[in-house]
Amino acid sequence: MIEFENVSKHYADGTMAVENFSLTIPARKTTVFVGSSGCGKTTLLRMINRMVDPSSGSIRIDEQEISTKPAVALRRSIGYVMQNSGLLPHFTVAENIATVPRLEGQSRKASRVRALELMETVGLPASMADRYPHQLSGGQQQRVGVARGLASDPNILLMDEPFGAVDPIVRAELQQELIRLQQDLGKTIVFVTHDIDEAFLLGDQVVILAAGAQKLQVGSPSEIIENPANDFVASFIGTDRGARALSVKHTPHGMVLVDSQGRTQGRLIEDGSSS
Ligand SMILES: Nc1ncnc2c1ncn2[C@@H]1O[C@H](COP(=O)(O)OP(=O)(O)OP(=O)(O)O)[C@@H](O)[C@H]1O
């Protein structure tokens, strides 16, 4: 469990990135921070592994205040995956994945074995182990980034817009892979995105943020869709339009659900849920 209590962060130039933020992030679930550009998502994420230190307030992991822990050791014990994979261009795939185990003193051989294992976990063929990042597609690079984030078998995995730079088809594949991985691994995942569909797909807990990391709503996707906190949230999540604004239409064959463009999205079946 990760707890933020009254956390603020202002940068040296006076930017108030995070203002008095409190939240409990449950263990072994996926929590998604979603909000528009500049609202403080990345700052929140980076405070968890002390890449950024808060100006005030307290952050605890399993009830231990993280400011008392050495920053480097903390950072290595937490997986981190970023948007452009952050791979080292002159390291091979296997070497990139094994960076943290090597830093932690594992032998070259043992860390290569671990890297090959992780490649399988994230769906990369072992034959790619000795390629360099520029010899991979964007989606493959992101898989390597995820494997690297998992290399030290961390309890916590931080993911900062990890699928933001790949095309929609690959993105959908990577999202499904992450859902599968999370079912197997049960990590505490904190995921940043500005895409509400991605947030609802991946998040057990979704945190909708506005400037200064102000919490507009925190809840499961169902809770938020069923009862948006205000008009801004309703509009942000799109319950007023498109595929999230469904209405019932009577047809000679029964009731169907149509979206705001009039396209039929499903059939209403007897117990009241849509097919
Ligand atoms: N090192 C820094 N120095 C000064 N201001 C910063 C720094 N890093 C971030 N900021 C500012 O803090 C605010 C929050 O930034 P942050 O990167 O956390 O937002 P974000 O929600 O992740 O944005 P994006 O979705 O665009 O990545 C922004 O106004 C940003 O310009």
CATH number listed for the domain at residues 2-239: 3.40.50.300
Atom from ligand 1 closest to the CA of residue 209: 21
Pinpoint the residues of the chain covered by CATH 3.40.50.300. Answer: 2-239
User: Which residue has the least CA distance to atom 29 on ligand 1?
Assistant: 38
10, 43, 52, 216, best to mutate for ligand 1 pocket (most atoms within 8 Å of CB) = 43
User: Which residue has the least CA distance to atom 24 on ligand 1?
Assistant: 37
Q: Model confidence over 123-136: pLDDT tens digits? A: 899 999 999 999 99
Q: Model confidence over 156-192: pLDDT tens digits? A: 999 999 988 788 888 898 899 999 999 999 999 999 9
Q: How far apart are CA 193 and CA 177, in angstroms?
A: 17
CB of 82 sitting under 6 A from ligand 1: no
CB of 212 sitting under 6 A from ligand 1: no
Quote the ipTM score: 0.95
pTM of the model: 0.91
- With cut-offs at 50, 70 and 90, classify the pLDDT of residue 245: confident
Q: How far apart are CA 143 and CA 146, in angstroms?
A: 5
Average pLDDT in the chain: 92
